[in-house]
Every structure is written in structure tokens, then in C-alpha cells.
A and B are shown apart, each in its own frame.
Chain A
Amino acid sequence: TQLLEQSPQFLSIQEGENLTVYCNSSSVFSSLQWYRQEPGEGPVLLVTVVTGGEVKKLKRLTFQFGDARKDSSLHITAAQPGDTGLYLCAGVRSGGSYIPTFGRGTSLIVHP
């Protein structure tokens, strides 16, 4: 069983559409991170959220940490082809070690 479940696994949309990616768990996290990974590259950190209910915006990307710190979402407004990539969430469990646990990722393709 994966500690962090991401959905959907795959997403193929047209440029200009909106989308939301979810990251869910039954565990509580002290922090949660979102990464984007492009083919042939390593993951690049987009944001870290640490407070329950926290919302962070990065241009057209909006990240939310659940009130109970067990889940998170990533919303992209007016997606562009440059948003194509694998989106990964990673959480550091409360009371545990600081080793992050990664979800399997959501593969996003934005068609022009």
C-alpha cells in the first residue's frame, strides 16, 4: 500500500483547460512538497506546505494543504504545454524521520 496516493495517474488535456491533482494519505504530515519532473531530468521542487489549510500560489499553480495535514491538491489554471511533466507529491510524516515519502506521481500532458 502506497503511503501517499496520487490521482489521477494520467491526465491529457488541451491548452487552456484547468486541472486538479490530488495527493491523499491516512497519515499526518509535518510538511508536504510538490515536485515537477520532466523527461530525462530529476524532480524540481515547486512548493513546500507546512500549515494545515495553507494555500500557496505560484503563478498559475495553486497548492493547498488539507486542514488535517493528510492531503494536498495542486490546481493549474489555463494549462500550457510547458506544464507537461510528472507531478510528484512527497510528505514528511509527523513524529517520524525526516525522510520524505513520495507518491507515484501524476503524468500530465498538455496539448497545444
Chain B
Amino acid sequence: KAGVTQTPRYLIKTRGQQVTLSCSPISGHRSVSWYQQTPGQGLQFLFEYFSETQRNKGNFPGRFSGRQFSNSRSEMNVSTLELGDSALYLCASSLDMAETQYFGPGTRLLVL
């Protein structure tokens, strides 16, 4: 079974731009969660989608948004990028949120 895939793996953007990250979950998994990982704050929960609906949301500004498609693939969008948005963005999929989460390799975003 293929694991969670994330694209792109690396991204460099400038302040003010927007970015879209993509996550393909493990086949059969309907829950997709997004996390931001930085050295200072560690792993912080962004949001979780299940069957195309956002079920949970973390404490991030509205510039961070996401969506999930009918095939469970998910995208995350960050608008008006700030320097502090530089981080590793991780996607995790599971059968349901309460089940074991399997993480993708992440997308490393650098904002200049």
C-alpha cells in the first residue's frame, strides 16, 4: 500500500505570495490532518478534514485554509505569506481522526 504523498517537497516563495500544498492520503483513509512544524513551536495542528468537511481547526489565522476532494486528496493554501510561515508542513491520514495517523514526508516551505 502506498504511503502518504505530499507535493511539492520543497518550495521557496516571497512575502505576500500565496502557496498551495497537496496531500494524497493512503488509499481508503478518509481523514486528513495538516500540521505545521517549526523548531521553536514543534508540531502544531492546523486543521482536519473528513469526507470533504473540515471537522477541526487549530489556532491559525484565516490565511491558512484547506479543502478535501471526493477522493480524499487534500490541499492546503496559505495566502499573503509571511516570513514566519517558513516551516515543514506535514499531512497525516487515517481511517478516522481517532485512529493511527500516518504522516507524509512533508513540504518544506521557505518564505523570503
Could you tell me which A residues sit within 8 Å of B by CB distance?
Answer: 2, 35, 40-45, 48, 88, 90, 97-105
Contacts and interface: CB of A to CB of B under 8 A. Distances in A.
B56 A42 contact: no
Nearest to A48: B100
B43 A88 contact: yes
B98 A98 contact: yes
B100 A45 contact: yes
Given A102-B43, A104-B41, A104-B42, 9 more contacts: A41-B105, A45-B100, A45-B101, A97-B56, A99-B48, A99-B97, A100-B45, A102-B35, A105-B42
A89 to B, nearest CB: 10
A96 to B, nearest CB: 11
A99 B106 contact: no
A44 B48 contact: no
A42 B92 contact: yes
Interface residues of B, number: 22
Interface of B: 4, 33, 35, 41-45, 48, 56, 58, 90, 92, 97-98, 100-106
Given A2-B42, A88-B43, A42 B106 contact: yes
A104 B43 CA distance: 7
Nearest to B35: A102
14 contacts: A35-B103, A40-B105, A42-B4, A42-B90, A42-B106, A43-B43, A43-B90, A48-B100, A97-B56, A98-B98, A99-B48, A102-B35, A102-B43, A103-B42
A58 to B, nearest CB: 15
Contacts of A41: 105-106
Nearest to B42: A104
Given A42-B4, A42-B106, A99 B56 contact: yes
